């Protein structure tokens, strides 16, 4: 089950966090993993880790906000491997602030990465997938369902991701392309550690525990747990699933009221 042998999987933001966990898990299941990331060191490290485990991975430095750059990388992948079977739109950034505290520059930056970046990858990959079908999984967030305090731009962007997921699922049914999204709650990634170090110097552990307790289950998720759900949705075992968003949030949406 959950076999991805020789599937060509393109994963954005694969240099760290959830994207790295997805890349490693997909490779363990037999996929040929193409990692797209702006972080050259992180992307190469993920690829090397996969190769050390006996898997197959290639890193491409790519800014997902630039459509021409995305199209060139996707074209190179298609020329090298002959198909793209799976797309995981994971690359994203966060921003803290209410609407009135969000500058135009910050708003545009979040939308460029979290919304336009997803669109650019869809735009480049969908014509290839129309040839023989494929699977897409977009990273949304619990923010898209309930909104998060002081996360105006981020919440806006992730709601757009869910909308794009539904649109693509409906438009490409006849092309044998499935499209779903996952909505993680708070996940322990390097971003969280960096945020705590910058915002609460000297109180990192205290604030980590406080943030963990905002999840009803009592802890943050692990990247590998999110990767497991994404693997299932991108596998043949999930062939009857499309146009759906899946919370994976420690009970945050349903149990936090």
Handedness of CA 25, 28, 29, 32 (dihedral sign): positive
- Catalytic choice (78, 119, 123, 154): 154
Count of Cβ atoms closer than 10 Å to residue 194 Cβ: 10
Query: Rounded CA gap, 227 and 19, in Å?
Result: 8
Q: Please work out, in degrees rounded to the nearest 5, the angle formed at the alpha carbon of residue 49 by the alpha carbons of 46 and 55.
A: 105
Determine how many CB atoms are found less than 10 A away from the CB of residue 121: 27
Query: Do the beta carbons of residue 69 and residue 36 sit within 8 Å?
Result: no
Q: How many CB atoms lie within 10 A of CB 93?
A: 16
Return the closest-CA partner of residue 141 out of 94, 175, 179: 94
Question: Considering Cα of 130, then 131, then 137, then 139, what sign does the dihedral take?
Answer: negative
Sign of CA dihedral 53, 58, 64, 70: negative
Is 119 a residue of the active site? no
Parallel, antiparallel or unpaired: strands 134-139 and 86-89: parallel
Q: Which residues are known to be catalytic?
A: 154
């Amino acid at each position: 089950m959950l076999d991805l042998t020789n599937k060509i999987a393109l994963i954005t933001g694969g240099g760290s966090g959830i994207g790295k966990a997805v890349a490693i898990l997909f490779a363990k299941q037999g996929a040929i993993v193409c990692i797209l990331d702006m972080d050259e060191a992180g992307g190469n490290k993920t690829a090397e880790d996969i190769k050390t485990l006996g898997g197959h991975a290639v890193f491409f430095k790519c800014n997902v906000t630039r459509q021409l750059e995305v199209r060139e990388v996707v074209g190179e992948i298609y020329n090298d491997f002959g198909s793209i079977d799976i797309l995981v739109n994971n690359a994203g950034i966060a921003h803290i602030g209410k609407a009135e505290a969000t500058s135009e520059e910050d708003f545009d930056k979040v939308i460029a990465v979290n919304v336009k970046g997803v669109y650019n990858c869809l735009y480049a990959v969908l014509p290839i997938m129309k040839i023989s079908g494929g699977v897409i999984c977009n990273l949304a967030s619990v923010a898209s369902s309930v909104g998060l305090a002081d996360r105006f731009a981020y919440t806006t962007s992730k709601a757009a991701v869910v909308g794009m997921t539904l649109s693509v699922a409906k438009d490409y049914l006849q092309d044998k392309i499935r499209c779903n999204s996952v909505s993680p709650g708070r996940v322990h990634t390097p971003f969280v550690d960096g945020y705590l170090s910058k915002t609460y110097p000297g109180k990192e552990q205290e604030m980590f525990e406080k943030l963990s307790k905002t999840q009803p289950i009592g802890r943050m998720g692990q990247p590998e747990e999110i990767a497991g759900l994404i693997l299932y949705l991108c596998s043949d075992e999930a062939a009857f699933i499309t146009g759906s968003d899946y919370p994976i949030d420690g009970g945050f949406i349903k149990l936090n009221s």
